[in-house]
Amino acid sequence: MPGAISGPTNACAFIGTLDDATYTIRKVNNAASYIWSVPAGATITSHPGGAGVNDTIVTVSYSGAFVSGTAISVQASGCVPSTARNLTILRVLPSTPGLISGSTNVCPYMISAQNPTGIPVTYTIRKVNNATSYVWTAPANSSITAHPGGAGVNDTIVEVTFTAAFTGGTITVSSANACGNSVSARSLALTRLTPGAPSVIDIIQTNVCPTREFTYSLAGLPSNATSVLWTVPPVATLVSGQGTASITVSYPATAVAGNVTATPYNNCANSTTRSTAIKLPACPPGFAGRSSVTEPSAQQATANKLSVTISPNPSSSYFKVQVVSPVTEKMTVRILDMQGRELKRMTMQPFEKANIGQELKAGSYILEITQGNLKTTEKLLKY
């Protein structure tokens, strides 16, 4: 009796192809020849070893009529044939594909006014045992626009484009061979996700009167948002940052009232709007294009001025202030915030040096010095 037959046991890899399966046995003692037989739907196409004692190799082709579970057999022949050695051949469907990798939120990629051609989204799977090809299906209002891996056994990557009408669905893939598709398909649910709500708007002043500048920032781009739409009061100028999580806004020296708003959005929808109220007074007269202003009496208008020295400025700790005046009376020194609210008041003598502002937080402030009819203002910057 011949030993075990070596060769493929899954006919599906050969059905419908020009490839033949090869089966072999070892030579048997006292055998003068061998008798090979194949089931219906299979055909022996050659005996590469030749006839007689060397007939230990056959090639077999399979047709779609082959029935799973039937066997190839071989007998050793001498005075009488030996018992047959059998090898059961099956029709084995490919396994169900593994997980599909790719974005489940298609909003950033859909065709829109901002992106008229859309951005193809890539979906991939790993190769599947016994598969010779794959069957991909895209959801409604989308289309498979490319197979980067090519056809057949390498078709494990697709690119999908989504139209503006897409509302949700699933992308599916089955593995296939000549015997049929996998018993079940693998699917991935796709959806449209609206942007998350914006964080509180953080405000930092970066320049003072007469051209005031502020930055307005969210903690970051909200989830699922592709950009942020900002609005500013009509008299303001949005200098930079539209569409991002942070903008720079410039205000004139006049009084300003209104709101700065931030609305995250993507190709699918807008989020809720975050708003912060803006109420800026007009800049003090001392900031109307000059570094300091004096308000002397008519007789002193050309002779009397206050000269202020501040160092360092900007400062991370305190400011060393000295005021030179043509008169000797005491001076009133006030520190104001940028809205004109008084934070600190003190008195100084002309030519006196004083350290001020140690307790101030980072930001911009106004230093106002008054001596009789004389007054000047300076900007302090703490970091």
Rounded Cα gap, residues 131 and 319, in angstroms: 77
Q: Pseudo-torsion of CA 261, 265, 270, 275, nearest 10°?
A: -10
- Do 378 and 289 share a structural domain? yes
> Is 153 inside any structural domain?
yes
> Is 100 inside any structural domain?
no
Encode pLDDT of 66-96 as tens digits.
999 999 999 999 889 999 999 999 999 999 9
200 DSSP 8-state letter: P
CATH of residue 179: 2.60.40
- Do 80 and 27 share a structural domain? yes
> Is 3 inside any structural domain?
no
Which one, of 187, 91, 172, 176, lies nearest residue 129 by Cα? 176
- Do 206 and 130 share a structural domain? no
Indicate if the pLDDT at residue 218 is higher than 70: yes
Rounded Cα gap, residues 185 and 98, in angstroms: 9
Average pLDDT over residues 292-310: 54
Encode pLDDT of 129-162 as tens digits.
999 999 999 999 999 999 999 999 999 999 999 9
8 Å CB contact between 144 and 159: yes
Domain tally for the chain? 4
- Do 176 and 261 share a structural domain? no
Residue-number span of the structural domain to which 358 is assigned: 285-382
Rounded Cα gap, residues 109 and 163, in angstroms: 9
Of 89, 123, 157, which residue constitutes the final position of a domain? Answer: 89
Q: Within 13 Å, how many C-alpha atoms sit on residue 324's CB side?
A: 4
Encode pLDDT of 224-263 as tens digits.
998 999 999 999 999 999 999 999 999 999 999 999 999 9
Of 30, 61, 89, which residue constitutes the final position of a domain? Answer: 89
> What tokens appear for 78 in the block?
């001498």
For residue 280, the tally of other CB atoms under 10 A from its CB is 23
Of 58, 89, 120, which residue constitutes the final position of a domain? Answer: 89
- Do 289 and 355 share a structural domain? yes
- Do 324 and 240 share a structural domain? no
> Is 96 inside any structural domain?
no
- Do 309 and 275 share a structural domain? no
CATH of residue 375: 2.60.40.1930
> Is 197 inside any structural domain?
no
pLDDT at position 288 is 42
- Do 238 and 289 share a structural domain? no
> Is 339 inside any structural domain?
yes
Indicate if the pLDDT at residue 304 is higher than 70: no
- Do 378 and 304 share a structural domain? yes
Residue count (the chain) = 383
Long-range contacts of 46-49 (CB under 8 A, 24+ apart): 46/20, 48/22
> What tokens appear for 119 in the block?
């951005």
Rounded Cα gap, residues 332 and 370, in angstroms: 5
Window from 63-67, 86-90, 207-211 with minimum mean pLDDT: 207-211
Encode pLDDT of 255-292 as tens digits.
999 999 999 998 888 999 999 999 999 887 755 443 33
Which one, of 1, 48, 40, lies nearest residue 23 by Cα? 48
- Do 232 and 265 share a structural domain? yes
> Is 6 inside any structural domain?
no
- Do 352 and 291 share a structural domain? yes
Indicate if the pLDDT at residue 169 is higher than 90: yes
> Is 4 inside any structural domain?
no
Rounded Cα gap, residues 159 and 143, in angstroms: 8
- Do 376 and 297 share a structural domain? yes
